[in-house]
Structure formats: structure tokens, C-alpha cells
């Protein structure tokens, strides 16, 4: 599994810096920090009945999209508000950006097609 920092660095090189910078810290906290891990996120997707979406990001096929309200369901309102505060943006904008960034981020972190323990 690729290190989260490497993936975020790659995303910053492929996006306008201001588009990713506020979310870099949120992604770190969500996928490998105090607020959770990649495994925690996978569990949340499964509990929300949306496991097939995240599984597509981990697998070798095309990444299925996720919609902001689905992501809000996965993360929970309190966590969404916490991350929006951390990023310094409204929760709607945060969710829209995370919906675009999570699929390629998770895919890059699981380049071998599996979620390692």
C-alpha cells in the first residue's frame, strides 16, 4: 500500500495547488490519522451499505462515483462538520471535493488491488 503522504503529494502535482491544499490535512486525518484509517473508512462504507463503491476504488476496474449525500451518510454529520472546520470550508464544498478526491486517492493507496491489514 502506498503511503498516504506520497499519494497526496502526487495529487498536489496534478491539481491546482489551492484546490488540494486545504484537503491534504483532511485526507491525512481521514485515511491515516487520529480521525481514522483506510480500514476504518472501508468499514464505514460497508456499514452504510455502500461497500461496493469503495471496493471499486480498491480494485483494478473503474472507480464508481460517490455523491456528496452518500459520503455524508458514510462519514456521519459530526465528522463531516469536524472535517469542514479543519479544512476551513463549508461542509457542502468539502463533500463535493472529497467525492472527487477520495476515489483516486484510495485507488493510488491500494495500487496492488487489495486493502492490506
| Digit-coded pLDDT (tens) for 41-88 | 999 999 999 999 999 999 788 999 999 999 999 999 999 999 999 899
Q: Please state, in angstroms and rounded to a whole number, the distance separating the CA atoms of residues 79 and 75.
A: 6
DSSP assignment of 47-75, as one string? HTT-HHHHHHHHSSSPPPP--HHHHHHHH
| Digit-coded pLDDT (tens) for 6-54 | 555 555 554 544 344 667 778 888 887 777 888 999 999 999 999 999 9
Burial-class residue 8 by CB neighbours within 10 Å (0-12, 13-18, 19+).
buried
- Per-residue pLDDT at 117 exceeds 70: no
Q: What stretches of 1-117 show up as alpha helix (H) in DSSP?
A: 4-14, 17-32, 38-47, 51-58, 68-75, 77-87, 91-109
Q: Give me the pLDDT at residue 5, please.
A: 54
Q: Give me the pLDDT at residue 8, please.
A: 53
Report the SS3 class of residue 35. Answer: coil
What domains lie within the chain, and their CATH numbers?
4-109 (1.10.10.690)
Q: Please state, in angstroms and rounded to a whole number, the distance separating the CA atoms of residues 102 and 81.
A: 17
Amino acid at each position: 500500500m502506498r503511503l498516504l503522504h506520497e499519494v497526496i503529494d502526487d495529487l498536489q502535482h496534478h491539481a491546482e495547488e489551492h484546490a488540494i491544499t486545504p484537503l491534504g490535512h483532511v485526507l491525512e486525518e481521514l485515511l491515516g490519522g487520529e480521525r481514522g484509517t483506510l480500514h476504518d473508512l472501508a468499514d464505514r462504507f460497508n456499514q452504510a451499505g455502500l461497500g461496493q463503491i469503495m471496493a471499486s476504488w480498491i480494485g483494478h476496474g473503474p472507480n464508481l462515483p460517490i455523491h456528496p449525500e452518500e459520503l455524508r451518510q458514510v462519514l456521519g454529520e459530526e465528522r463531516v462538520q469536524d472535517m469542514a472546520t479543519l479544512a476551513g470550508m463549508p461542509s457542502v464544498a468539502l463533500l463535493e471535493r472529497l467525492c472527487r478526491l477520495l476515489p483516486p486517492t484510495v485507488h493510488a493507496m491500494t495500487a496492488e488491488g487489495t486493502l492490506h491489514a
